Structure 1
Amino acid sequence: LSIISNWETLEHQDCLSKAEWYDILASVGDYNEAILELTGAGFCFKFDSGTTTMEKRHLQNALSNGKLLNHGVLSCSGERICFAYYMREYIHTMCRMETPGWSVPSHNHVIQLWMWNSS
Protein backbone atom coordinates (compact mmCIF):
# COMPACT_ATOMS: atom_id res chain seq x y z
CA LEU A 1 0.00 0.00 0.00
CA SER A 2 1.23 3.47 -0.86
CA ILE A 3 -0.50 6.61 0.37
CA ILE A 4 0.01 9.67 -1.81
CA SER A 5 -1.14 13.03 -0.45
CA ASN A 6 -1.54 16.20 -2.55
CA TRP A 7 1.05 15.08 -5.04
CA GLU A 8 1.34 15.23 -8.79
CA THR A 9 2.35 11.75 -9.93
CA LEU A 10 4.45 11.88 -13.06
CA GLU A 11 3.87 9.35 -15.83
CA HIS A 12 5.17 5.95 -14.78
CA GLN A 13 4.65 2.22 -15.18
CA ASP A 14 4.19 -0.17 -12.26
CA CYS A 15 6.70 -2.77 -13.37
CA LEU A 16 6.89 -4.90 -10.19
CA SER A 17 3.35 -6.23 -10.45
CA LYS A 18 2.62 -9.63 -11.98
CA ALA A 19 0.50 -10.18 -15.07
CA GLU A 20 -2.07 -12.10 -13.03
CA TRP A 21 -2.77 -9.34 -10.52
CA TYR A 22 -4.72 -6.10 -10.30
CA ASP A 23 -3.32 -2.84 -8.97
CA ILE A 24 -5.99 -0.62 -7.43
CA LEU A 25 -6.06 3.16 -7.06
CA ALA A 26 -8.61 4.89 -4.81
CA SER A 27 -8.74 8.66 -4.49
CA VAL A 28 -10.58 10.67 -1.80
CA GLY A 29 -10.64 14.25 -0.58
CA ASP A 30 -11.98 17.74 -1.15
CA TYR A 31 -10.34 18.67 -4.45
CA ASN A 32 -11.16 19.77 -7.98
CA GLU A 33 -10.20 18.78 -11.49
CA ALA A 34 -7.83 15.85 -10.90
CA ILE A 35 -7.03 14.03 -14.14
CA LEU A 36 -5.78 10.44 -14.40
CA GLU A 37 -3.82 10.05 -17.63
CA LEU A 38 -3.25 6.71 -19.36
CA THR A 39 -0.63 8.23 -21.60
CA GLY A 40 0.30 5.13 -23.60
CA ALA A 41 -3.33 4.74 -24.64
CA GLY A 42 -3.99 8.45 -25.11
CA PHE A 43 -6.82 8.56 -22.54
CA CYS A 44 -7.55 11.05 -19.77
CA PHE A 45 -10.19 10.53 -17.08
CA LYS A 46 -11.65 12.68 -14.35
CA PHE A 47 -10.25 11.35 -11.08
CA ASP A 48 -12.92 12.71 -8.73
CA SER A 49 -13.10 11.95 -5.02
CA GLY A 50 -14.36 8.41 -4.50
CA THR A 51 -12.98 7.16 -7.82
CA THR A 52 -11.47 3.68 -7.80
CA THR A 53 -9.58 2.19 -10.74
CA MET A 54 -8.19 -1.28 -11.33
CA GLU A 55 -5.25 -1.91 -13.61
CA LYS A 56 -4.64 -5.35 -15.03
CA ARG A 57 -0.95 -5.93 -15.66
CA HIS A 58 -1.35 -8.47 -18.49
CA LEU A 59 -3.15 -5.84 -20.58
CA GLN A 60 -0.18 -3.58 -20.07
CA ASN A 61 2.14 -6.32 -21.30
CA ALA A 62 0.00 -7.36 -24.24
CA LEU A 63 -0.75 -3.98 -25.79
CA SER A 64 1.53 -1.22 -27.05
CA ASN A 65 4.72 -3.01 -25.99
CA GLY A 66 3.93 -2.57 -22.30
CA LYS A 67 3.12 1.13 -22.52
CA LEU A 68 -0.69 1.06 -22.51
CA LEU A 69 -1.02 1.60 -18.79
CA ASN A 70 1.67 4.18 -18.29
CA HIS A 71 -0.22 6.50 -16.02
CA GLY A 72 0.03 9.64 -13.94
CA VAL A 73 -2.15 12.15 -12.10
CA LEU A 74 -1.84 15.86 -12.77
CA SER A 75 -1.77 18.34 -9.90
CA CYS A 76 -5.12 19.71 -8.77
CA SER A 77 -6.42 22.23 -6.26
CA GLY A 78 -7.63 21.09 -2.84
CA GLU A 79 -6.81 18.23 -0.51
CA ARG A 80 -6.42 14.77 -2.08
CA ILE A 81 -5.26 11.38 -0.85
CA CYS A 82 -4.71 8.47 -3.21
CA PHE A 83 -4.40 4.92 -1.90
CA ALA A 84 -2.45 2.65 -4.26
CA TYR A 85 -2.96 -1.03 -3.46
CA TYR A 86 -0.67 -3.58 -5.05
CA MET A 87 0.90 -6.99 -4.41
CA ARG A 88 4.56 -7.87 -4.70
CA GLU A 89 5.82 -11.37 -5.41
CA TYR A 90 8.84 -11.04 -3.11
CA ILE A 91 6.52 -10.62 -0.09
CA HIS A 92 4.96 -14.01 -0.82
CA THR A 93 8.42 -15.53 -1.29
CA MET A 94 9.75 -13.99 1.92
CA CYS A 95 6.73 -15.30 3.88
CA ARG A 96 7.05 -18.71 2.18
CA MET A 97 3.53 -18.43 0.82
CA GLU A 98 2.33 -19.68 -2.53
CA THR A 99 2.07 -16.91 -5.09
CA PRO A 100 -1.58 -16.35 -6.07
CA GLY A 101 -2.58 -17.11 -9.62
CA TRP A 102 -4.81 -15.21 -12.01
CA SER A 103 -7.41 -12.81 -10.66
CA VAL A 104 -10.82 -14.38 -11.17
CA PRO A 105 -14.01 -12.31 -11.37
CA SER A 106 -16.48 -13.15 -8.63
CA HIS A 107 -19.38 -12.61 -11.03
CA ASN A 108 -18.78 -15.46 -13.48
CA HIS A 109 -22.52 -15.65 -14.15
CA VAL A 110 -22.40 -12.20 -15.79
CA ILE A 111 -19.62 -13.30 -18.13
CA GLN A 112 -21.42 -16.57 -18.92
CA LEU A 113 -24.65 -14.69 -19.67
CA TRP A 114 -22.81 -12.27 -21.95
CA MET A 115 -21.15 -15.17 -23.80
CA TRP A 116 -24.49 -16.98 -24.12
CA ASN A 117 -26.17 -13.85 -25.54
CA SER A 118 -23.28 -13.29 -27.96
CA SER A 119 -23.59 -16.71 -29.59
Structure 2
Amino acid sequence: MNEWSHSFNVVSIISNRQTPGHRDTGSALRWFNVLLAVRNYSNGHAEFSGLGLKVRYLPGTVVVDLGRVLRHSASCNGDRACIAYYMREKVWDALGPEKPGWAHNGATEK
Protein backbone atom coordinates (compact mmCIF):
# COMPACT_ATOMS: atom_id res chain seq x y z
CA MET A 1 0.00 0.00 0.00
CA ASN A 2 2.95 2.35 0.49
CA GLU A 3 3.88 1.92 -3.19
CA TRP A 4 0.41 2.12 -4.76
CA SER A 5 -2.21 4.32 -3.12
CA HIS A 6 -5.01 2.98 -5.33
CA SER A 7 -4.76 -0.67 -4.29
CA PHE A 8 -8.48 -0.87 -3.41
CA ASN A 9 -9.76 0.79 -6.58
CA VAL A 10 -11.27 -0.63 -9.76
CA VAL A 11 -11.44 0.85 -13.25
CA SER A 12 -14.19 -0.52 -15.51
CA ILE A 13 -14.96 0.35 -19.12
CA ILE A 14 -18.60 0.28 -20.18
CA SER A 15 -18.93 0.44 -23.97
CA ASN A 16 -22.03 1.10 -26.11
CA ARG A 17 -24.48 0.03 -23.47
CA GLN A 18 -27.64 1.67 -22.27
CA THR A 19 -27.33 1.42 -18.51
CA PRO A 20 -30.68 0.75 -16.79
CA GLY A 21 -31.39 2.05 -13.30
CA HIS A 22 -29.21 0.32 -10.71
CA ARG A 23 -27.09 0.70 -7.59
CA ASP A 24 -23.46 -0.43 -7.61
CA THR A 25 -23.71 -3.15 -4.97
CA GLY A 26 -20.00 -4.05 -5.18
CA SER A 27 -18.69 -0.55 -4.63
CA ALA A 28 -17.94 0.89 -1.21
CA LEU A 29 -20.93 2.33 0.59
CA ARG A 30 -19.27 5.49 1.88
CA TRP A 31 -17.08 6.54 -1.06
CA PHE A 32 -17.63 8.34 -4.31
CA ASN A 33 -17.64 6.69 -7.73
CA VAL A 34 -16.20 8.70 -10.63
CA LEU A 35 -17.69 8.24 -14.11
CA LEU A 36 -16.16 9.75 -17.24
CA ALA A 37 -18.16 9.74 -20.52
CA VAL A 38 -16.10 9.54 -23.72
CA ARG A 39 -16.46 8.83 -27.47
CA ASN A 40 -18.77 10.28 -30.13
CA TYR A 41 -22.45 10.41 -29.22
CA SER A 42 -25.32 12.80 -28.72
CA ASN A 43 -28.32 13.33 -26.49
CA GLY A 44 -26.73 11.62 -23.47
CA HIS A 45 -28.42 11.73 -20.08
CA ALA A 46 -27.61 10.45 -16.61
CA GLU A 47 -30.56 10.03 -14.29
CA PHE A 48 -30.69 9.74 -10.51
CA SER A 49 -34.27 8.57 -9.99
CA GLY A 50 -34.23 8.75 -6.18
CA LEU A 51 -33.32 12.43 -6.40
CA GLY A 52 -35.67 13.18 -9.30
CA LEU A 53 -32.63 14.44 -11.23
CA LYS A 54 -31.82 14.02 -14.92
CA VAL A 55 -28.70 15.74 -16.30
CA ARG A 56 -27.01 16.06 -19.69
CA TYR A 57 -24.27 13.46 -20.05
CA LEU A 58 -22.19 14.54 -23.03
CA PRO A 59 -18.69 13.35 -24.05
CA GLY A 60 -16.17 14.68 -21.53
CA THR A 61 -18.69 14.82 -18.68
CA VAL A 62 -17.52 13.62 -15.28
CA VAL A 63 -20.14 12.46 -12.79
CA VAL A 64 -19.22 11.85 -9.16
CA ASP A 65 -21.81 9.98 -7.13
CA LEU A 66 -22.40 7.57 -4.28
CA GLY A 67 -23.18 4.70 -6.67
CA ARG A 68 -24.10 2.18 -4.02
CA VAL A 69 -26.50 4.62 -2.33
CA LEU A 70 -28.02 6.41 -5.34
CA ARG A 71 -29.97 4.57 -8.03
CA HIS A 72 -28.66 5.81 -11.39
CA SER A 73 -28.88 5.15 -15.13
CA ALA A 74 -27.40 6.46 -18.39
CA SER A 75 -28.55 6.60 -22.00
CA CYS A 76 -27.40 8.14 -25.28
CA ASN A 77 -27.46 7.87 -29.08
CA GLY A 78 -24.17 6.88 -30.70
CA ASP A 79 -20.80 5.44 -29.76
CA ARG A 80 -20.42 5.88 -25.98
CA ALA A 81 -17.91 4.60 -23.48
CA CYS A 82 -17.88 5.22 -19.76
CA ILE A 83 -14.77 4.90 -17.63
CA ALA A 84 -15.91 4.06 -14.10
CA TYR A 85 -13.50 4.43 -11.17
CA TYR A 86 -14.60 3.13 -7.77
CA MET A 87 -13.60 1.13 -4.68
CA ARG A 88 -14.56 -2.44 -3.81
CA GLU A 89 -15.66 -2.81 -0.20
CA LYS A 90 -14.81 -6.54 -0.11
CA VAL A 91 -11.14 -5.79 -0.77
CA TRP A 92 -11.07 -3.61 2.36
CA ASP A 93 -12.85 -6.35 4.30
CA ALA A 94 -10.37 -9.01 3.15
CA LEU A 95 -7.25 -6.98 3.97
CA GLY A 96 -8.54 -5.55 7.22
CA PRO A 97 -7.36 -1.92 7.34
CA GLU A 98 -9.53 0.57 9.17
CA LYS A 99 -12.14 1.96 6.79
CA PRO A 100 -12.36 5.70 6.23
CA GLY A 101 -15.61 7.45 7.11
CA TRP A 102 -18.22 8.86 4.75
CA ALA A 103 -16.96 10.91 1.81
CA HIS A 104 -17.48 14.64 2.35
CA ASN A 105 -16.39 18.00 1.01
CA GLY A 106 -13.76 18.58 3.71
CA ALA A 107 -15.68 21.30 5.54
CA THR A 108 -15.60 20.97 9.30
CA GLU A 109 -18.86 20.46 11.13
CA LYS A 110 -19.74 22.72 14.03
TM range, smaller chain: 0.7 to 0.9
**1:85 offset after TM fit, Å?**
1.2
Tell me, which stretches of 5 or more residues in structure 1 are unaligned? 61-68
Match of 2:15 among 5, 27, 30: 5
Match of 2:44 in 1: 34
Report the identity percentage: 31
Match of 2:58 in 1: 48
Contact 2:23-2:67 at 8 Å conserved across structures:
no
Aligned partner of 1:18: which letter? A
Q: Deviations over 1:3-54 (max 9, x none)?
A: 1011100110123333321111111111101110111221111001111111
> Matches of residues 37-116 of structure 1 in structure 2 within 5 Å?
37-56=47-66, 60=69, 69-74=70-75, 76-94=76-94, 96=95, 98-102=97-101, 103=103, 105=105, 108=106, 111=107
Aligned partner of 1:71: which letter? H
TM-score of the superposed pair, with normalisation by structure 2:
0.73
DSSP-derived class of the 2:26 partner:
coil
Query: Which of the two has higher C-alpha Rg?
Result: 1
Q: Given the superposition, is the C-alpha separation of residues 32 and 14 from structure 1 closer, same or farther in structure 2, using an over 3 Å criterion?
A: same
Over 6 Å off, 4+ runs: none
Aligned partner of 2:31: which letter? W
- Count of matched residue pairs: 98
Structure 2: distance between partners of 1:37 and 1:48: 13
Tell me, which stretches of 5 or more residues in structure 2 are unaligned? 1-10
The answer to which structure has the higher strand fraction is: 2
Aligned CA RMSD, in angstroms, stands at 2.3
